[in-house]
Amino acid sequence: MNRRHFLLNLVATSSFFASPFQLAKAARKPLLKPKRLQSGSIVGIVSPAGATFVREELNIVIDAVKGLGLVPRLAPHVLERYGYLGGKDKDRAADINQFFSDSSVAAILPIRGGWGCSRMLPYLDYQRIRKNPKILVGFSDITALILGLNAQTNLVTFHGPNGLTSWRKTQTDYFRRILFTGEAVTFQNQKDGDDSDRLVQVKYRTQTITSGKAKGRLIGGNLSVLSAIVGSPYLPNFSGAILFLEDTGENIYRIDRMMTHLKIAGLFDKLAGFVFGQCSNCSPDADYGSLTLEEVVWDHIQPLGIPAWYGAMIGHVENVLTLPIGLEVEIDADAGTIRMLESAVE
């Protein structure tokens, strides 16, 4: 046997004994982490998705950034409008490219979600972004942006608050712990609002789909947005990943349709673990009968046999927690936790 054949056989033998998680980890590019925030860091405010029609909303975001002890800087096209979009695709992308090029900017914060991030993904300068890693945070339609950047650059991005979210104490505390302090946080549902003085928790209860623990890179976000970029180069590799999903305002049959899309695309078969968050205002349609949301999720996830749980406090809710996309985590499907295995920032 010559040397080449020997090496090929050695790789094949090693691959046979390695787990899918180990193989996926070995094949990935080095992880890029942004620098942590400090008091006085500059935050670039952008409109990568929906337009902002009322200037007062921009002022609210500016005040929120200042309240965090940070310095707001407005993107050139932040108040532009092109129909329902925050400007033309190339202009919105140019704002993000500019902030990634600017060494004085530490983080990028969108005003809102809406729709439009997927349209500008082809116009982002991923080589420039890779050379200048920094914090990018957002949720809802921003799912396409945080996943696209992670897929193209292996930069840790953050599923977290948009500028116009509540910035209540819980949300702000998680934001600070992860992006300022650099803690490796364990996420778990908390009693919220009227639940705070109840004997038992009623809101944000969790259910185990399949018991167990699993480790992998955390990937996820809004189901509608994520399912729409399947097959594109802007979806991260699902091999050995922990996937979380959330949505809002969708009929249950549509949730079923989108989860079926992920299933028949072969993405669910690659996962190490799964978490389903909140589906706010997701209800049956007006037909005679409907599956429940629980039935849809269990139908798709339970047969996988991977650790999985339902009801995470992730989604279009009052407190939007900051979750690191692309970072190694461990989930415990019985305890209903997501545990970061390392800091998400340098």
What are the pLDDT digits (tens) for 72-88?
999 999 999 999 999 99
Cβ–Cβ under 8 Å, residues 25 and 19: no
Supply the pTM of this predicted model.
Answer: 0.91
Helices (H), 51-115: 55-67, 89-101
Q: Measure the CA–CA gap between 175 and 63, rounded to whole angstroms.
A: 16
Using alpha carbons only, give the angle 22, 150, 67 rounded to the nearest 5 degrees.
125
Q: Give CA torsion, residues 18, 24, 25, 29, to 10 deg.
A: 140
Distance of CA 91 to the CA centre of its chain: 24
Q: Can you give the pLDDT at residue 28?
A: 60
pLDDT of residue 12: 45
- Whole-number Å distance between alpha carbons of 331 and 113: 27
Q: What does the pLDDT read at residue 194?
A: 64
Percentage helix, strand, coil for the chain under 3-state DSSP, each rounded to 5: 35, 20, 40
- Catalogue the active-site residues: 140, 246, 316
Alpha carbons 87 and 13: distance in angstroms, whole number: 53
282 in Cβ contact with 252 (< 8 Å): yes
Name the stretches of the chain with pLDDT < 50. 1, 4, 6-8, 10-18, 20-21, 23-24, 26
Domains and CATH numbers, the chain: 42-179 (3.40.50.10740), 186-340 (3.50.30.60)
- Half-sphere exposure (Cβ direction) of 285: Cα atoms closer than 13 Å: 8
**What's the CA gap between 216 and 207, in Å, rounded?**
21
Beta bridge partners of 316: none
Q: Quick one: pLDDT at residue 23? A: 46
Which residues lie closer than 8 Å to 56 by C-beta, 6 or more apart? none
